[in-house]
Structure 1
Amino acid sequence: MARDIRTLTQPQLSAIQTACLKLAPSWPLDQMIAVSPYWPMRDEPIEQVSARLSALAGISMLMPASDYLDWYRRGLITEQALQTALAESGLGISQGELVQALERIPEQVPWQPLSGLLDEHRARHKMAWRDEITHQISQFCAAHFQQAQPMLHSNEKPDLYAHWLAVSQRDRGLSIVLDEPDLHRYFAQLPDDPHALIAQALDTFGIQNEQVELYAHAMLLDISGWGAWVAYLRWQGELSNTPQDQTLELLAIRMAWELVLWRYQESQFPGFFATLTHAWKQSMARLTDLPVQHQTQQKPLWIWARAAELSYQQQLHSMLSRPVNLSARAIQCQVAFCIDVRSEVYRRALEGQSDAIQTMGFAGFFGLPISYQPQQADVSRPQCPGLLMPSLVASHAQTDKHGAASLNAGARWQAFSKSATASFSMVESAGWIDTFKLLKKAFFASEQVHPVDKLSNSQSWSLTQNGEELSAQQKAELAAGVLHAMGFEQFAPTVLLVGHGSHSTNNLQEAGLGCGACGGQSGEVNVKVLAWLLNDKAVRAALPELGVEIPEQTRFIAALHNTTTDHIRCYGEKPDAQIESWLSSATAVAQKERAAKLDTQLADFDREALDQALIARSLDWSQTRPEWGLANNAAFVVAPRDWTRGVDLQGRSFLHDYQWQHDTDFKVLETIMTAPMLVTHWINMQYNASTTDNLHFGSGNKVLHNAVGGNIGVFEGNGGDLRTGLAMQSLHNGHDWMHQVQRLSVYLAAPKSAIKDIASRHEVVQQLIDNEWLYVFQWQSSGEISRFFQQRWWPVSAPADRQGEEQKIVQCL
């Protein structure tokens, strides 16, 4: 029986709900995409969010002071950039004082919950309270959220809080593990309702209304991995119009532990409890002011972070500031790639083979909002960005019944193996089969194809919406929309549609190296479907009425860029020998450029040896760094490719083709600024967050990863919180970081008036710009570049003084 039932007041409930919305989602392993963990807080200035997270949970959004000092001494932060950043800050100190400030940054001590205060007095031989709390909640969540229901035998899956309470009240092992007799008895006193639990905790701890949101947020950050999973379930529910939110229940579970500890200490150790109460009151008195203190302490670090960004931007601006000279040339082959930064290296290598090659950049799902479902198979997967809900289903016109049956059987077997009650017996009975598979993979390594991808080799497809096959006219309208968005002005005899995928072995986070625009999958399905559409005679016949004229001899060929080896694989009809030769040569050039970053020894390999070495790396079970993914991403360039052709962007830029003169109503620009720009921002912030604080927003050591619930995520080892974000091996080469932390710089070759109008009509875009989560620049063909900030245009050659009084303002056109 609960000893004190209360209900939340409306101000308390409102504050709790606000806190519950501050955790960003984390996608499952098989659909792993990069996500900004700060996304729900984009309505606040980035420096304010940084201070808040630092104060509440010790989370860092900045690099250590020693890293900035090292970059400065190595010339990676220039004197000019540092002077500009210091002038912008209005801090009123000299450059020398700023360097000195970096050398004596005070330690930023985060706020401590009750369990943290108790750990300060905990005997060394006993497990820390916070570690055990995280472990217990995390193990429970792993069991609760896996597909099979292992802990309570019920026809219906119980609510999260109710399930946890029932399990915890039966668990006598907690008292034994923690060496705290009778601790388990205090769980029996907890109320059945999560709202009542939270109300009791707030009342018991004396938390004022103005402190509730900060306190609740701090509690959620203590179990943020599972908070991210619950946020993902909420996100999916919103996309499918089946709203659900279990964040409040997760918060109630975390607060329940604090309440149990309070009551346990009060009853069992009354003498110490007086000391604890005093310490708690002091801790709560600090809570409200702590974020402000941390923001003041972080100010010098933010100046250095800005200087690092300016150093990169100034270098990039010098490359982009050259006037654009457009020269007409006969195009023999057009090759459309994903905007992914890894494509930039290959595109540059391919363009170097011949002036008759035109490359293009577009979001890797190629404008197809599809999910892929093999005919007669029970499984399907989204092939579009996480921001979207698939509206079409792509499947094969011909059915592979044997393959579909095999896939269904495999899915059922894997579902059974995920059950906690089945796992041990399954290993006992089937272990010898898996041992054979293990030995086969170890000694006879070959490329492993995703089970669903095995069924995607059909050249004829079916597109349905709500169970109805699309008509030829509907297919033509879909195709015309894609071609218009891609910016096709003319069509070459051969058009390659190149999706991308990655290949590595023994890598639970392999989807994180896939195409984010395809939901972490390979782009193979999307390019095959689009090539099928654009080669279809009925679709071709309907396109002229929609303003699209494709020459009869033009053929579209689907292809896949393996970003691990830089091989291009074409499907169906093969390109001619000349194009095959260009692709082969481009592969060798791209491999050579990337080799030194992968392993310095590879830099001296000849062409054939390097190719074999990269293939071997992708098949090596022990290889934890098969490729660097999108590490070191820094810019998103939206402009005609002719403007950047021949410019070495170092594999750091997302490249999206765009010609504003053909976008009369700026709908394409609006789509770019509200979709690809947000996706690239997510990627940038995920890499930044996993670098600055891998403990909270990264997944630690890849070697120690264990899958949770089949595909939910990973543990590092066998416990702790659910780990989200990127592993250290995806960011660090063992000696140095491979990703330099900086906010995304977006360059839009479009009229200033159009950019401003779109930003003003989309609150999300305006928030990202004005709260400085990213930079938006307008780039003109003359080479002039201006920054858009706070509804004004600023020339990049002058500091954007936040006060706006000394500097000249370039007004919007």
Structure 2
Amino acid sequence: MTHLDIAAAPGRGDRVTDVTELVERAARLLPEQAPLQTFVHHNTLHAFEHLPFDEAVVSAARVFGTEPFQSEAAFRDHVGSGRIRPSDIDAVAEAEAPGAAPIVPGGPTRARFLALRLRNLFEIPSGAALDWLLLETDARTRLSDLLDPRRRAELLAQAGRDWTTTPEQTARASQARLLDTLWNGLAAAAPTVPGAGAPPARGRDRILAETGTDTDELVHPLLIRLSAAFLDQGIAYWPMPERELGFLRAFRRLYGQAGGPPDRFLRGLGAELRRQEAEGWTAERTVVWALDELAVPEEARGAAIEATLLSLRGWAGMMRQFEHRPDLAPVEARAARLLDYLAVQLVLDVQAARHVMRNHPGGPATADRTTVRPGLELVYEAFVLAQLMPVDVTVLARPEHAAAWLGAVAACDETERRRLLHLAYERRHRVGALDALDAHRRFTAGAEAPPVTMQAVFCIDEREESLRRHLEEHFPQARTYGYAGFFGVAMTYLGTGEVRPRPLCPVVVTPTHLVVEEPAESRTPRQPGSRHGRGGLSLGLAVGSRTLARGSVISLGLGATQVVTLVGRCLFPRRFHRWSRRLDHDPGGGAVTRLAIERAPGAVETEDGLRRGYSVPEMTQVVSSALRTTGLGRELAPVVLIVGHGSSSLNNPHESAHDCGATGGGRGGPNARAFAAMANHPGVRAGLRDLGLDIPDGTWFVGAYHNTCDDSMTYYDEDLVPERSRHAVEEAKRIMARACVLDAHERCRRFESAPLDLPLDAALAHVESHTVDLGQPRPEYGHATNAIGVVGRRSRTRGLFLDRRAFLVSYDPEGDPSGDLLTNLLLAAGPVCAGINLEYYFSYVDPAGYGCGTKLPHNIVGLLGVMDGHASDLRTGLPWQMVEIHEPVRLLLVVETEPERLAAIVGAHAVLERLVSNGWIQLVAWSPSSDAMHVFERGGFVPYVPEGEALPTVHRSAQFYAGRREHLGFAHVTASLGTGSGEPVSPELVGEEAS
């Protein structure tokens, strides 16, 4: 009999222990991904933010079985291509190991050793491959092929002969003796390597070791089906019964019925569940009983609970999300509890364990897990490196020197090498970016800005960087600004075509205001939850198609139509999309609407505790904060566009991941519209004048929406534009339309489907086809190029080609003497930009472990997330098609302020201090008084010394990016500085060379 007895000992299941704390501790490791509809970027390793970044990624790799950095092979390619330069390796090595003491007498210093090791990346065989190499080849007696001629001559000289006159056979024999002495000296000093150690605590792992059967293969398919059915948001025709009771009780009612489930391993489960239900067992008691049954010792229960939840961490994480954020449910929240989920999984684990042990009595003998063996892999690596590096190998014959050499080699293992190479990889990017900013400052010094006739405020999103640049190139009289894309309007929003209101604000903000879009001709307040006839018809067809009788009729009736639709969407996506929009046009869809933005006198809160609309003082505060923070209030043009953004694409489960992170994964058009309405409000303007901010009567704000997928623009409330501003608004729209064409053309260079010589006038058609193509896995690359954040005046970056890689946050340090505006800005923008950057980092370095793999096998389940095929864990993170062109570097955040002020702000706020001090982002202070830069390193700011490489200069961006798909460097673009004619770029310019 094994540790898993089929019959439980009397009284074992009656002992109740509080497991809530253990579950809460394990829950911190679970993904925090919300359902797809509200997918918002966040730090994948949020639970490890208390650790320094390099320690955190290594620790997480051990917990999750994932990768911490890019592979060594990838870094080898970066070294070979020049993406990592020798100077980067030397700088990293010197910073990591200062000092002049050699590792062994006459050998390299620690820094020199690291630098040479990172330059010499070679494969280290292990296990049977190494045994074969040592036994069947002359690897131990022949100098390595990696040696250069100079080092080869040095080694031959160390044998004490003149090898230019010695016969070849004698030379080989002497060489073999030299290398044999080196090998034996290292092998004698090598430490032994222990075996796997004690068996794991989780019962499943012990059973696997004893029987060779993985109980998860029995449990997981059923648990996946149960979880999907319980959390389903209305997709399933037959809903799971009694879900309102909670996951555990619904499971007991369903699987505790007489007769029992058909699965062999579940025999006897029904009786057990009926007993637990009759005795009123809580989830906590059920967990304790199951851990007892699985013979998990008390001291190992925390580890066992953690391993159990992490075995399907996507589904466990979604249960956790529904428990703590029910407001994010796409349709209806479920009574989910992580403890219930754990209890169900452990009950199934017990059943599977009993079944396996019945069929494998006794089991095979468990292998000795404490066996020690010589560290031959380490000896081989040290053996090769002793040949490659400047060291007298005869010195290594002495045990103390051999041990020191082995210690240096062991300290620079694969993980450490990848960490150091990652630092070198990031250093090259950091140096390039900071040098470009400094060079551009000097390039534009003394330049006078053209008079402003139009202003546009965009989200800080790095995808808007190219649109802002092209707008300024095409029309130098334009000024652009960057502000978080909810524009300070933290609201819950209900549009005319929506069934439920949703928050449009950062996820860390809880909105307290409800804004409703209403038809202009009917100002009757609209109630959340109203439904439309068309939705009911769609639901009826969806449900009917799943029935036997109606399904046959519906399938026959709609079959031909669907064939036409499928052919049209696949072969003529753009034309079919336009045709279907005209055919499906709702006569009432173009009705004029208004936002109920101002709170009516005596208005009461909704049942959710929301206040309808904003008071005039509240609106005044929203507008005032934006004007002061961005510096927009210093000089206002006749037209100010407030441009929110989002993305729409066909057949894209992760569409909301392309939307605006500042609106919680929503689209920023309503926020832009609301802000413009506030800024145009007479009462708000009067309140602003009292605060010293005067909006001229001739200035009009227009809310707009930029679709970053097809580069289209939508404008709101145009019928409200006063006659005096109509011409200026139309001119602004025309200029913006041209900028969108240029932006689309630059974006197309990243798509393999677009030829590199794509004409300018074909760019919009290409991106629109991408948007509506049913088979397009890459409708938009989203944030895949993000790498930099610049918080400061636009004059610092205007005219600098940033390759759509920079979050641009407008901040006027001269208008912020106290630093309060900067503090609020960093608290909002810092975590958002860091979350975007880190999610892309982790989804790239381990697409399977942290990302959700390739899109091709994805299956949307219950409006919750995606699985691979018909059943898998709920995949979290980003698909490979969203990150494949990304460079995984931590965000380089450059802030225009004095280093002392920035240090004080960071130190006073835990969320920023954690991100900065632990290295989750790279922080730079750019002094507005001296223009000096200071980089935050090892707890403080240190001066940055530019390396001073010159940048190329072009008149238009198209001249720099033409014909190239890869990541580009930086360049000066003179057209936006007012040195050009301001006329649209011609197609011929695309082919011109950069000067």
- TM-score bucket (shorter structure): 0.7 to 0.9
Question: 1:7 offset after TM fit, Å?
Answer: 4.8
1:435-454 → structure 2 map (5 Å cutoff)? 436=561, 439-440=564-565, 443=568, 444-446=576-578
**2:144 alignment partner in structure 1:** none
Letter in 2 for 1:643: R
Q: 1:630-645 counterparts in 2 under 5 A? A: 630-645=783-798
Is the 8 Å Cα contact of residues 746 and 777 (structure 1) preserved in structure 2?
Answer: yes
CA deviations 1:11-70 (Å, max 9, x no partner) are x65343211222231122222222222113211233333233322331223222211111
Q: Give secondary structure in 1 for the equivalent of 2:942.
A: strand
Q: Which of 835, 855, 866 is 1:702 aligned to? A: 855
Match of 1:808 in 2: none
Does the CA contact (< 8 Å) of 1:385 and 1:518 recur in 2?
A: yes
- Once residues 591 and 41 of structure 2 are traced to their aligned partners in structure 1, the CA distance between those partners, rounded to angstroms, is 25
Checking the alignment, whether the CA contact within 8 Å between 1:138 and 1:721 is kept in structure 2 is yes
Conserved 8 A contact 1:498-1:559 = yes
CA shift, 1:648, in A, is: 1.3
Q: Does structure 1 retain, via aligned residues, the 8 Å contact 2:745–2:764?
A: no
> Which has the larger displacement, 210-219 or 378-387?
210-219
2:28 to 21, 31, 34: 21
TM-score between the two structures when normalised by the length of structure 2: 0.70
Structure-2 residue corresponding to 1:298: 415
The residue aligned with 1:197 is 286
Match of 2:940 among 756, 773, 792: 792
| Counterpart for residue 502 of structure 2 | 381
Contact 2:451 2:477 survives alignment (8 Å): yes
**1:451-530 matched pairs, under 5 angstroms:** 458-464=593-599, 466-488=610-632, 489-530=634-675
Q: Aligned AA for 2:284? A: H
- Write the distance in 2 (CA, Å) between the matches of 1:411 and 1:642: 49
Q: How many Å separate the matches in 1 of 2:420 and 2:299? A: 31
Whole-angstrom distance in 2 between the partners of 1:513 and 1:79: 37
How big is each residue's C-alpha offset from its partner over 1:284-321, in whole Å with a ceiling of 9 and x where there is no partner? xxxxxxxxx99975222111111111111111011012
Q: 1:147 touches 1:418 (CA, 8 Å); kept in 2?
A: no
TM-score, scaled relative to structure 1: 0.85
- The match for 1:288 is none
Q: How does 1:290-369 map to 2 (within 5 A)?
A: 298-322=415-439, 323=441, 325=445, 327-369=448-490
Retained in 2: the 8 A contact 1:632–1:741?
no
**Residue 392 of structure 1, aligned match among 505, 513, 520:** 513
Q: 2:362 aligns with which of 267, 271, 276?
A: 271
C-alpha displacement of 1:335: 0.9
Aligned-pair CA distance for 1:578: 4.3
Offset at residue 357 of structure 1 (A): 1.1
Map Cα deviations across residues 219-276 of structure 1 (whole Å, 9 max, x no partner): 2221111122233234426999x9997223333333434433443344442220x746
- Structure 1 unaligned regions, length at least 5: 283-292, 733-737, 800-813
Deviates more, 1:493-502 or 1:591-600: 591-600
- Over residues 333-353 of structure 1, what are the superposed CA-to-partner deviations in whole Å (9 max), with x where a residue is unaligned? 111111111001111111112
- Does the 8 A contact of 1:592 with 1:603 survive in 2? no
- For the residue of structure 2 that corresponds to 1:777, the secondary structure is strand
Say whether 1:162 aligns with 2:182.
Answer: no
Distance 2:223 2:909 in 1: 39
The reply on whether 1:53 has 2:200 as its aligned counterpart is: no
Alignment-derived partner of residue 139 in structure 1: 225
User: Aligned-pair distance for 1:422?
Assistant: 6.5
Aligned residue for 2:915, secondary structure, equals helix
Shift of 1:386: 1.7
Q: For the residues of structure 1 that align with 2:72 and 2:461, how far apart are their CA atoms?
A: 31
Q: 1:108-136, CA deviations, whole angstroms, 9 ceiling, x for partnerless residues?
A: 9999754356567888xx9x643443322
Among 730, 735, 741, the alignment partner of 2:882 is 730
- Aligned residues of 2:936 and 2:942 also touching (Cα < 8 A): yes
Deviation at 1:544? 0.6
Segments of structure 2 that go 5 or more residues without pairing to the other structure are: 1-6, 98-109, 128-194, 372-409, 569-575, 600-604, 948-995
**Alignment deviations for residues 484-535 of structure 1 (CA, whole Å, 9 cap, x no partner):** 3333222111111111122211222211111121222221111111112212
In structure 1, distance between residues paired with 2:314 and 2:328: 21
Please tell me the residue identity of whatever aligns with 2:855: K
Q: Which residue of the other structure, out of 319, 325, 332, is the alignment partner of 1:236?
A: 325
Instruction: Compute the RMSD of aligned alpha carbons.
Output: 4.0
* CA distance, structure 1, for counterparts of residue 412 and residue 559 of structure 2: 53
Aligned partners of 1:508, 1:26: CA distance in 2, in Å?
A: 14
SS at match of 1:503: coil
In structure 1, the residue matched to 2:974 is none
Q: Deviations along 1:326-375, whole A, 9 cap, x unmatched?
A: 63541111111111110011111111123311110011111110111146
Q: Distance in 2 between matches of 1:657 and 1:105?
A: 52
Task: State the one-letter code of the partner of 2:622.
Answer: L
Q: Is residue 2:865 matched to residue 1:713? A: yes
Q: Is the 8 A contact 2:265 2:351 kept in 1?
A: no
In the alignment, the residues of structure 2 paired with residue 243 and residue 407 of structure 1 have an alpha-carbon distance, to the nearest angstrom, of 21
Cα distance change on mapping 1:442 and 1:28 into 2, 3 Å: farther
Cα distance in 2, alignment partners of residues 106 and 498 from structure 1: 57
What's 2:133 paired with?
A: none
Correspondence for 2:398: none
Q: Is the 8 A contact 2:892 2:923 kept in 1?
A: yes
Structure-to-structure mapping, 1:34-53, within 5 angstroms = 34-53=41-60
Contact 1:535 1:556 in 2 (8 A): yes
Taking the aligned partners of 1:250 and 1:19, their CA distance within structure 2 comes to 13
Q: Is the CA contact 1:462–1:469 (under 8 Å) kept in the aligned structure 2?
A: yes
- Following TM superposition, by how much is the alpha carbon of 1:407 offset from its aligned partner in structure 2, in angstroms? 4.1
- Secondary structure of the equivalent of 2:801? coil
- The code of the aligned residue for 1:471 comes to S
Matched pairs, number:
772
Would the aligned equivalents of 1:707 and 1:715 in 2 still touch at CA under 8 Å?
A: yes
Partner of 1:219: 308
Tell me which amino acid in the other structure corresponds to 2:247.
L
> Are positions 1:537 and 2:682 aligned together?
yes
Change (3 A) 1:474 1:152: closer
For 1:43 and 1:419, locate their aligned partners in 2 and report how far apart those are by CA, in whole Å: 48
Q: CA deviation at 1:456?
A: 9.3
Q: For the Cα contact (< 8 Å) 1:57–1:218, is it kept in 2? A: no
Greater shift after overlay, 684-693 or 323-332?
323-332
Partner residue of 1:665?
A: 818
Q: Report the more deviating stretch, 381-390 or 432-441.
A: 432-441
* Code of the aligned partner of 1:313: R
Distance 2:544 2:905 in 1: 51
Q: Distance in 2 between matches of 1:341 and 1:548?
A: 29
What secondary structure does 1:564 align onto? coil
The answer on whether the counterparts of 2:629 and 2:815 sit within 8 Å (CA) in structure 1 is: no
> Among residues 59, 68, 71, which one is paired with 1:64 in the alignment?
71
Over alpha carbons, which structure has the higher Rg?
2
Counterparts of 1:2 and 1:439, CA distance in 2: 62
Cα distance in 2 for residues equivalent to 1:686 and 1:203: 38
**Cα distance per residue 1:718-739 (max 9 Å; x no partner):** 110112221222223xxxxx01
Corresponding position of 2:902: 755
Offset at residue 450 of structure 1 (A): 13
